[in-house]
């Protein structure tokens, strides 16, 4: 048997062979190949992206409930309007048939005194909120 094919004895390392690190520690078979390093890096990147996506899903749906955010309507003396569940970033629907004797409904506002009316066609819901009816006497 030639010297180059000779096996090292117990406790001896192979000459000119770098230590190789495997998934569970040092391996006597040698270091990671470049393709193994790239594969591990791709796997780690994919894992991080998947975990970030899962976290985002939990934040958006988990903390607000599967149905989304709640828009509550305070008719301020008028007939009752049902609350709505709206997904983050979507628009709410304007309640219909809300009436108050002797008043005309001007719209809905984030504040009870009626400044800055809510635009149901473009204002996006980004948190749970209450809209207040704005009435004008007839």
Secondary structure of the chain: what % helix, strand, coil (to 5)? 25, 25, 55
User: Which percentage of the chain shows pLDDT scores above 90?
Assistant: 47
Task: Give residue for tokens 């390392």.
Answer: 13
pLDDT in tens, 17-67: 666 555 555 555 555 677 777 877 888 888 888 888 877 776 665 554 445
69: pLDDT strictly greater than 50:
yes
What is the chain's mean pLDDT, rounded? 80
Mean pLDDT of 69-80: 96
Confidence at residue 55, expressed as pLDDT on a 0 to 100 scale: 77
99: pLDDT strictly greater than 60:
yes
136: pLDDT strictly greater than 90:
yes
Question: What long-range pairs does 95-99 form, CB within 8 A, spacing at least 24?
Answer: 98/73, 98/133
Confidence at residue 120, expressed as pLDDT on a 0 to 100 scale: 96
- What Cα–Cα distance (Å) separates residue 27 from each residue in 12, 13, 31, 115? 14, 11, 7, 72
pTM of the shown model: 0.54
82: pLDDT strictly greater than 70:
yes
DSSP 111: S
**104 or 3, higher pLDDT:** 104
Confidence at residue 64, expressed as pLDDT on a 0 to 100 scale: 47
> Which helix H or strand E contains 26, and what residues bound it?
strand 25-27
Mean pLDDT of 70-91: 95
């Amino acid at each position: 048997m030639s010297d180059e094919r000779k096996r090292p004895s117990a406790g001896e390392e192979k000459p000119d062979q770098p230590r190789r690190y495997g998934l569970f520690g040092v391996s006597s078979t040698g270091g990671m190949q470049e393709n193994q390093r790239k594969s591990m890096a791709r796997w780690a990147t994919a894992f991080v992206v998947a975990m970030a996506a899962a976290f985002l899903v939990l934040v958006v749906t988990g903390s607000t409930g599967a149905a989304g955010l709640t828009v509550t309507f305070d008719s301020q003396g008028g007939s009752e309007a049902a609350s709505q569940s709206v997904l983050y970033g979507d628009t709410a629907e304007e309640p219909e048939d809300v009436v108050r004797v002797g008043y005309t409904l001007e719209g809905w506002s984030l504040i009870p005194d009626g400044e800055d009316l809510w635009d149901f066609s473009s204002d996006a819901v980004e948190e749970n909120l209450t809209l207040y009816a704005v009435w004008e006497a007839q």
